[in-house]
Structure 1
Amino acid sequence: MNLNISNNNFWKIFLIRDYFLLWLSGLTTMLSMQLRIIATGFILYEITGSGLSLGMLGIIQLFFQLPSILYGGVLADFFKRTTIIVITQSIGTIIIFLLFYLSFIEVLNEWHIYIATALLSINSTIGGPARSALTANLVPKNLLINAVAANTATMQIGSVLAPILFGILTVSVGASYPLLIGSIAALISVITGILIKNDNYIKNKNKMSPLKNIIEGFIYVRKHPILPGLYLLDIGVTVVSFYRQIMPLIADRLFKGGAAVVSILTAFNSIGAIAGSFLVVFLSKVKSKGLLVLGATMIYGILLIFFGLSTSLFFGALVITLLGATDAIGMTVRQAIVQLTSPDHLRGRAVSLHSVAAMTANNIGHFEIGVTSELIGTRNALFVGGVISCIVVIIIWKAFKGVGTYKLEV
């Protein structure tokens, strides 16, 4: 790839045609997913009125995502990554449109939501490693951290637009219409994926069985000087602090609000994440990447304590903005380390194992905070989660010396 672009100008990565198409595909994918998550969570909570029912979504996702993501990594290393993206997004478009139709004719129930969540969990986790690994095929190595930061920001831009659209559409025409817009966004993602011309695909000649390929990926990650500690940090913190997909519960029990408050909190959280993603670009010359992740995660835990103590929507929105920023810094740097330190023939599996850690933590955390909220209250669940998060950071810092000392300059 002979691309002569200065890494001092972040925006020049969008002059790379195929990367721009991948970025646009990622934006519409995230918009589609967030609209579906917010809308189905809101509808489910309206149907059941239970935090436990929201927590069950996490268990369903965990059960179906774990095997899918491992094989998704193998597929990303052995097949054209653009083809995988197009196929999975096409399936997602159909499922989300069916959710809209069932809601529109007023027959959508909790079981429809659970089944769709299971199918979309399999679908998105198979396509995810291909999308992540493809980034490194489309941009020069010296621009990769900028591209990863842009990808992270893109995820959050979708997360900002989604609650705004959800709030406007739900208040004006009903909660089914965000699902219609979500299906249209997914269709756009299919089209942009088709338009990517050169994904620099190199046929992997490895003849091992899929299981042996997965094991090879595990061995690579296990021997890596920093990834095991980072993955455990992600799991340990997220399991006790994953609040995003119970926003209807938080809005109701902390701030006595409905769809409008869900939209405000979700949007401010995503705005913070966008800011955090771009901040990573300015921190790219910081050599101690592991220490950067530890610091951002410690601040995240402290902020979660303050979020649990929030008594006003203004203060809560401010804190959740900062939560989004610190979380994005940690996530972006982790993803960049995975891609920068992994060879192309292993990158899909390294990315998928990173996703396994993140998704496992997200889904267990989704269930844990839903159950804990029912047992000790939402406010106390957030406070305790913040305290435990800080303890986990200290344990990882002490137990995995490689995390604190690892240096990588890009």
Structure 2
Amino acid sequence: MTPPAPPTEPRLRPWDALRFRDYRFLWGTGLLVVISLWMRILATSQWLFDETGSEAVLGLIGLVQLFVQIPALLWGGAVADHLDRKKVMLGAQMGTFGVLLALGMMSGAGVLEPWHVYTAIGITAASQMVSNPAAAALAPATVPQRYLMHAITTTTATQNVGMIIGPLLFAAIVNVSGLTAAFYVAAAVTLPSALLPQLIGVAGRAAEATAGSTLARMKGGFFYVVRHPILPGLFLLDTGITVVSFYREILPALVRGLFQGGATATGILGAANSTGAVVGSVVALFFAEFQAKGMLVLYASLAYGIFLFGFSSFSMLWVGVIFIALIGGADSVTVAVRHTTVQLTTPDNMRGRAHSFMVLSATTANNIGTLWVGIWAEVIGARETMFMGAILAVVAAVAVGRIWRPIREYRG
């Protein structure tokens, strides 16, 4: 007699991670953090531009952030694997709250100066980088392992929604009440993002927290990632396609070169990209139980390069809207798989550092990509630059997939 087949677990629905109370608190925290972040970015940059009228003054924001983000990120990853992650998030977000509140008070009193704003940007950029690894490392403890990709993808989708809500909220507040009110509202949004993680019931500290100095823990995290069979290949894949095509910071120049458009076209394309990212995150949820996740990230990376061909090949804005939305969607799938792989293949006492090195790789690639695209667009033109980027992105996806066998074989 044939034995009965073992019962199969029901297929997960896209929103199933939200069934878990602890995850809901972490999810809400992530949404508030992104809304606050974008309000801070827009409020500080708008204040500087209104005060000085200088594009170069805005350009210095990138230098300030780059200077503080790398050490803060590495330190934050080491701290997240040693201290209570909920307390790390509390300290980081309360720091951001205090800075935004101070900006509102100084702006209202008419004593705010550019150096105050740069200092605030540096502090809040650092606090964001400290909080990020702690939140990411806490996520696997809030849901069963089967739900982890759903949780990470839901968080990614929600953060993309926050990237839409934040600018819209900023615009509405400034239009009605001015920049000072925007600083106060950003502070008000930040405060609950510090408090919500404290309601999470699971332990905030890694079960086997790493001992030793912070520098030793950072070094240990680096060597763990380097020796990992999959992570270096995933980080290299992301770097390979991002460096040759990063478009977000330089979108106004691309809009002018590709579509002969201005600020309105830039806004339309930016919104389309964010919308595509949200849709891509939802699509990734339906692949949560797809076992060949290594091949999934390779397919999504290849699709990213192919969509770049379309984006660089047409002059009609509506076609550009379609392709930049597809680019955002493909990128969201790669992000979801990459984040999930880091969490699933890394022990709890190393997750903060592994995540920090992943973010470090992505942030560095973004900055180099902005420089690459900007220089080449000036030399050979925006269309030619993006077409070249499409070719190199496809080559990078194929080459990494061919060379890095553990990625092709990864099942998760």
**TM-score over 0.5 for the pair:** yes
Q: Contact (CA 8 Å) 1:55, 1:367: kept in 2 or not?
A: no
Which of 390, 406, 410 is equivalent to 1:407? 410
SS in 2 for 1:213: helix
Which residue in the other structure is 2:123 paired with? 119
Q: How many residues align?
A: 402
Kindly indicate whether residue 39 of structure 2 is the aligned counterpart of residue 35 of structure 1. yes
Q: Contact (CA 8 Å) 1:58, 1:362: kept in 2 or not?
A: no
CA distance in 2, matches of 1:108, 1:120: 17
Q: Contact (CA 8 Å) 2:305, 2:391: kept in 1 or not?
A: yes
CA distance in 2, matches of 1:402, 1:183: 45
Matches within 5 A, 1:25-64: 25-41=29-45, 47=52, 50=55, 56-64=60-68
Q: 1:34/1:381 Cα in 2 relative to 1: closer, same or farther (>3 Å)?
A: farther
Larger Rg: 2
Instruction: State the percentage of identical aligned residues.
Output: 34
Matches within 5 A, 1:196-215: 196-199=200-203, 201-202=205-206, 204-215=208-219
Matches within 5 A, 1:6-405: 8-41=12-45, 47=52, 50=55, 56-100=60-104, 111-170=115-174, 174=178, 177-199=181-203, 201-202=205-206, 204-250=208-254, 254=259, 256-258=261-263, 260-403=264-407, 405=408
SS in 2 for 1:245: coil
Q: Contact (CA 8 Å) 1:81, 1:131: kept in 2 or not?
A: yes
Q: 1:389/1:179 Cα in 2 relative to 1: closer, same or farther (>3 Å)?
A: farther
Letter in 1 for 2:319: F
Q: 1:113/1:365 Cα in 2 relative to 1: closer, same or farther (>3 Å)?
A: farther
CA distance in 1, matches of 2:152, 2:275: 17
Q: Contact (CA 8 Å) 1:36, 1:179: kept in 2 or not?
A: yes
CA distance in 2, matches of 1:198, 1:286: 28
Select between 387-396 and 368-377 the one with higher mean Cα deviation: 368-377
State the Cα deviation string for residues 208-256 of structure 1 (Å, max 9, x = none): 2222222222222222221111111112222232222344555566553
Select between 183-192 and 301-310 the one with higher mean Cα deviation: 301-310
Structure 2: tracts of 5 or more residues without a match: 1-8
CA distance in 2, matches of 1:164, 1:310: 29
Q: Contact (CA 8 Å) 1:226, 1:406: kept in 2 or not?
A: no
CA distance in 1, matches of 2:390, 2:363: 19
Structure 1: tracts of 5 or more residues without a match: none
CA distance in 2, matches of 1:266, 1:99: 28
Select between 102-111 and 154-163 the one with higher mean Cα deviation: 102-111
Q: 1:158/1:298 Cα in 2 relative to 1: closer, same or farther (>3 Å)?
A: same
Give 1:54 deviation, angstroms. 5.4
CA distance in 2, matches of 1:401, 1:361: 23
Give 1:318 deviation, angstroms. 2.0
Q: 1:67/1:279 Cα in 2 relative to 1: closer, same or farther (>3 Å)?
A: same
SS in 1 for 2:202: coil
Letter in 1 for 2:410: K
CA distance in 1, matches of 2:256, 2:188: 30
CA distance in 2, matches of 1:342, 1:364: 28
Q: 1:326/1:168 Cα in 2 relative to 1: closer, same or farther (>3 Å)?
A: same
RMSD: 2.9
Give 1:399 deviation, angstroms. 2.9
CA distance in 2, matches of 1:176, 1:280: 39
Q: 1:249/1:41 Cα in 2 relative to 1: closer, same or farther (>3 Å)?
A: farther
Give 1:170 deviation, angstroms. 4.8
CA distance in 2, matches of 1:245, 1:117: 17
CA distance in 2, matches of 1:106, 1:314: 44
Which residue in the other structure is 2:4 paired with? none
State the Cα deviation string for residues 316-362 of structure 1 (Å, max 9, x = none): 32222111100000000000001011111111111111111112212
Report the TM-score when normalising by structure 1: 0.86
Select between 6-15 and 233-242 the one with higher mean Cα deviation: 6-15
Letter in 2 for 1:257: G
Q: 1:323/1:114 Cα in 2 relative to 1: closer, same or farther (>3 Å)?
A: farther
Give 1:370 deviation, angstroms. 4.2
CA distance in 2, matches of 1:312, 1:263: 15
